[in-house]
Structure 1
Amino acid sequence: MSFHWLTPSHLIVLGLLLVFAIAHSGLAALRPWGEQRIGPRLYRVLFALVSLPLATVLIIYFFNHRYDGLQLWQVQGVPGVRPLVWSLSAISFLFLYPATFNLLEIAAIQKPQVHLYETGIIRITRHPQMVGQIIWCIAHTLWLGTTFMIVTSVGLVLHHLFGVWHGDRRLSARYGEAFAAVKARTSVIPFLAIAQGRQSLKLQEFLRPTYLGVAGFVLLFWWAHPLLIQATANVHW
């Protein structure tokens, strides 16, 4: 069987994902130790200075090589596929970005803290970023249909599945029985705790300006998507 389609970019993107995962999860694990020594604000700045450049390199490389490898299917011209992909992408952002609600903490203007939430989207799933990433990967794998996209999706999903274990472990170490109680009332699988009667959905908790901000970001990204592709194409990686 010929593997002529297995371009070096398949392995490179896995390497970039691995470097990002080690840096991102490693710095998250070292957060208590680092904050004791340099303070929460400075550690947040350090976290951003490491994570953001790695993420930028990864995003640019992904855009420039997304059609590499073997084209397994082509459904971009099929009626209904484009709105389905955009709808799934929009839903994925609603799961991916609840952590950005505390913008002042992310920017280190306010003191960054570790929060133990059990409201809003956490009632649906305890790990919304993992769910959002899986939805995003499904949408883009459907749209692109390439082996490179499949390899990228597998790497992203594995990283976020590790993040589920890693995040629960860190919260358990920090909050102990309080997190155990939250864990008992929530679920990783979306809507499972609600279906089992361990949790209830309160729609009023979603009526927040921050969700409008996420919706605005989705519209902005939809508008800027062609510009982003054009800009990354000018970087010859």
Structure 2
Amino acid sequence: MLLGFAVAHSGLAALRPWGETKIGARPYRVLFALVSLPLAVALIAYFIAHRYDGAQLWMMQGVPLVKPLVWGLSFISFIFLYPATFNLSEIAAIAKPQVHLYETGIIRICRHPQMVGQVIWCIAHTLWIGTSFTLVTSLGLIAHHLFAVWHGDRRLANRFGDAFESVKSRTSIVPFLAIVQGRQSLNAGEFLRPAYLGVTIFVLGFWWAHPWLLRVTGNIPW
């Protein structure tokens, strides 16, 4: 399932320039969503239903401070995972979807925030659950996102050329590295925008719905 999602998601991303010339930007975004979203939902549901499968490698759930650590890491992971949702009208194909070259906000911290968010999420959930199934799933997710780092940079380089190379020289894949090296600086005002409040509300809502999601996915007969 992970391999199928990776091929579909990254493959459609690679074919975007060609696809948009054939059917247009909005229809291609709709096609991308119709393929990617069902696969992602199925992956999430299957993971929740089978998270305790396999061998129990460790059990940290009773250790003091582990639970708040896991929740804290999970919250931070979503802050990194969802900066792409800032342009909701483009994601929903209401406005014409475009490829943007960003160098503000969280991109100052890391050029590939979704990869960082996924790694943090995997660390938190693997620590909490501790099964071989969760470990293998996390390794697969991280592998896909590491591939997406190379794949994303390659697509941006092909599209923007020297402009991307300039941004690349001032940003880093490793969080905060470009800032430490003096190639980049933080601007706190760029984080004071409604989108970050929206992500925070989403995370709190997801926490509230967490028990319900566990019950619903547990009833799926697979």
TM over 0.5: yes
Structure 1, unaligned runs of 5 or more: 1-15
Per-residue CA deviations over 1:144-196 (Å, capped at 9, x if unaligned) read 00000110010000000000000000000000000000000000000000000
Which position in structure 2 is the counterpart of 1:9? none
Which position in structure 1 is the counterpart of 2:79? 94
Q: Identical aligned pairs, as a percentage?
A: 75
Say if 2:35 is the partner of 1:50: yes
Mapped to 1, the partners of 2:77 and 2:44 lie a distance apart of 17
Give the residue type in structure 1 aligned to 2:110.
T
Say if 2:149 is the partner of 1:164: yes
Which position in structure 2 is the counterpart of 1:112? 97
Say if 2:122 is the partner of 1:145: no
Choose from 56, 59, 63 the match for 1:71: 56
Mapped to 2, the partners of 1:119 and 1:213 lie a distance apart of 18
Give the residue type in structure 2 aligned to 1:142.
L
Trace 1:116-195 onto structure 2 (pairs within 5 A).
Answer: 116-195=101-180
How big is the shift at 1:79?
A: 1.5
Choose from 195, 198, 208 the match for 1:213: 198
Count of aligned positions? 222
Say if 2:11 is the partner of 1:29: no
How big is the shift at 1:56?
A: 1.1
Per-residue CA deviations over 1:7-44 (Å, capped at 9, x if unaligned) read xxxxxxxxx00000000000000000000010000000
How big is the shift at 1:77?
A: 1.2
How big is the shift at 1:226?
A: 0.4
Which position in structure 2 is the counterpart of 1:223? 208
How big is the shift at 1:81?
A: 0.8
What CA RMSD, in Å, does the superposition of the two structures yield over aligned residues?
A: 0.5
Mapped to 1, the partners of 2:112 and 2:85 lie a distance apart of 14
Structure 2 length as normaliser, TM-score? 0.99
How big is the shift at 1:236?
A: 1.0
Say if 2:88 is the partner of 1:103: yes
Structure 1 length as normaliser, TM-score? 0.93
Mapped to 1, the partners of 2:41 and 2:170 lie a distance apart of 36
How big is the shift at 1:107?
A: 0.3
Structure 2, unaligned runs of 5 or more: none
Say if 2:4 is the partner of 1:19: yes
How big is the shift at 1:78?
A: 1.3
Give the residue type in structure 2 aligned to 1:223.
W
Which position in structure 1 is the counterpart of 2:47? 62
